[in-house]
């Protein structure tokens, strides 16, 4: 069992997302350690990008805050290395094609392996373009996470068949961000996935309340929460840790 499979082996997985370097890398490191203690099964670390087209305003602002604070890809690698001295929670990078491509796809994946990253999620690299990065992911043992959306329809089977690690199911159309209402489109999407491949499915985009998380976890293997946490970080800045920990604990118990 690899580390990513382990994240889904203890019941429903709770997967928080934070933007690395928001408000600074020292706080990000503390957040990872404390969220892991509070029950996070897998943590997504966003490498900030100047133009995150799949993100709503909350994560866009976190990216700007992180970049303004001088966060770089190399700085994030160093931070992950430091996290790995004391914590083995599965970690996935979430970023955009250009920061990876410009760093050098092979250099990026090699470095990710060296510091202990388990997976990458690159939302602007769809199925058709995954060969840009997939060979290097395979070479260095980094899982390349695929996404499916409510508009994927017949593409779901194609994507699911080739998927590795887990499938990121986008709950509803649009960009990341808290939504008051989330439909049940993901339930049907996950059924289609499971019909072709036995792979964990985690739902993301829009989930913020324990009630939503509980409902989504009924038909999925895990829930991903980003904007709701990033909002707390934006609100409390360097003092955010206890508030985030409290939130993560609540969300984790909601899906138990």
Partner 1 sequence: MSKGRFGVHGGQYIPESLMNAVIELEEAYNRFKNDPKFVAELNDLLENYAGRPSLLYYAAKMTKDLGGAKIYLKREDLNHTGSHKINNVLGQVLLAKYMGKTRVIAETGAGQHGVATATAAALLGLECEIFMGKEDTERQALNVFRMRLLGAKVHAVTSGTQTLKDAVNETMREWSKRVHDTHYVLGSVMGPHPFPTIVRDFQSVIGREVKEQLMKKEGRLPDVVMACVGGGSNAMGIFHDFINDTGVRLIGCEAAGKGVDTDKNAATIANGKLGIFHGMKSYFCQDEYGQIAPVYSISAGLDYPGIGPEHAYLKDIGRAEYVPVTDDEAVKAFEYLSQVEGIIPAVESAHAVSYAMKLAPTMDKNQIIVICLSGRGDKDVAAIARYKGEQIYE
Question: To the nearest whole angstrom, how small is the minimum distance from the Cβ of residue 250 to partner 1?
Answer: 29
Which of positions 186-245 make contact with partner 1 (CB under 8 A)?
none
Query: Is there a contact between 21 and 69 (Cβ–Cβ < 8 Å)?
Result: yes
Pairing of strands 119-121, 143-148: parallel
Residue from 3, 6, 34, 54 that binds partner 1 (CB under 8 A)? 54
- Among the listed ranges 170-178, 222-230, 232-240, 241-249, the one in contact with partner 1 (CB under 8 A) is 170-178
Query: Is there a contact between 203 and 30 (Cβ–Cβ < 8 Å)?
Result: no
- Torsions phi, psi for 237 (to 5 deg): 55, -130
- Among the listed ranges 65-73, 81-89, 211-219, 239-247, the one in contact with partner 1 (CB under 8 A) is 65-73
Q: Does 46 help bind partner 1 (rule: CB under 8 A)?
A: no
* Terminal alpha carbon distance of the chain: 22
Q: Does 147 help bind partner 1 (rule: CB under 8 A)?
A: yes
User: Judged by CB, which is closer to partner 1: 127, or 243?
Assistant: 127
Contacts for 55-61 with beta carbons within 8 Å, 24 or more apart? Answer: 55/175, 55/176, 55/177, 56/174, 56/175, 56/176, 56/177, 56/227, 57/177, 58/176, 58/177, 58/178, 58/227, 58/230, 58/231, 58/234, 59/17, 59/19, 59/176, 59/177, 59/226, 59/227, 59/230, 61/234
Residue from 173, 188, 211, 246 that binds partner 1 (CB under 8 A)? 173
3-class state of residue 73 by DSSP:
helix
What number of chain residues touch partner 1 (CB under 8 A)? 43
Residue from 14, 49, 166, 247 that binds partner 1 (CB under 8 A)? 49
Residue from 103, 136, 166, 247 that binds partner 1 (CB under 8 A)? 103
Residue from 1, 85, 86, 151 that binds partner 1 (CB under 8 A)? 151
Query: Is there a contact between 221 and 189 (Cβ–Cβ < 8 Å)?
Result: no
Pairing of strands 43-46, 13-19: parallel
Q: Does 148 help bind partner 1 (rule: CB under 8 A)?
A: yes
Q: Does 180 help bind partner 1 (rule: CB under 8 A)?
A: no
Residue from 9, 10, 11, 53 that binds partner 1 (CB under 8 A)? 53
Residues forming the site for partner 1 (CB under 8 A): 49-51, 53-54, 56-57, 60, 64, 67, 72-74, 97-103, 123-129, 131-132, 146-153, 155, 159, 170, 173-175
């Amino acid at each position: 069992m690899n580390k990513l499979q382990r994240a889904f082996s203890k019941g429903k997985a709770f997967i928080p997302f934070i933007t690395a370097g928001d408000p600074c890398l020292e706080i990000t490191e503390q957040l990872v350690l404390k969220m892991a203690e509070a029950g996070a099964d897998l943590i997504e670390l966003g490498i900030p990008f100047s133009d995150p087209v799949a993100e709503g305003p909350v994560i866009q602002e976190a990216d700007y805050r992180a970049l303004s604070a001088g966060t770089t890809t190399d700085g994030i690698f160093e931070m992950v290395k430091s996290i790995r001295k004391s914590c083995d929670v599965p970690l996935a990078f979430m970023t955009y094609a250009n920061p990876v491509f410009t760093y050098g796809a092979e250099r990026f994946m090699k470095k990710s392996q060296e510091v202990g990253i388990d997976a990458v999620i690159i939302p602007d690299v769809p199925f058709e373009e995954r060969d840009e990065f997939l060979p290097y992911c395979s070479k260095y043992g980094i899982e390349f996470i695929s996404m499916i959306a409510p508009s994927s329809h017949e593409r779901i089977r194609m994507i699911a068949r080739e998927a590795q690690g887990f499938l990121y199911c986008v709950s509803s159309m649009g960009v990341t961000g808290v939504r008051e209402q989330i439909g049940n489109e993901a339930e049907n999407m996950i059924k289609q996935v499971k019909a072709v491949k036995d792979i964990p499915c985690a739902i993301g985009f829009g989930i913020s309340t324990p009630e939503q998380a509980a409902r989504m976890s009924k038909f999925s293997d895990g829930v991903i929460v980003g904007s709701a946490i990033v909002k707390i970080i934006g609100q409390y800045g360097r003092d955010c840790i206890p508030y985030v920990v409290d939130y993560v604990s609540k969300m984790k118990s909601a899906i138990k």
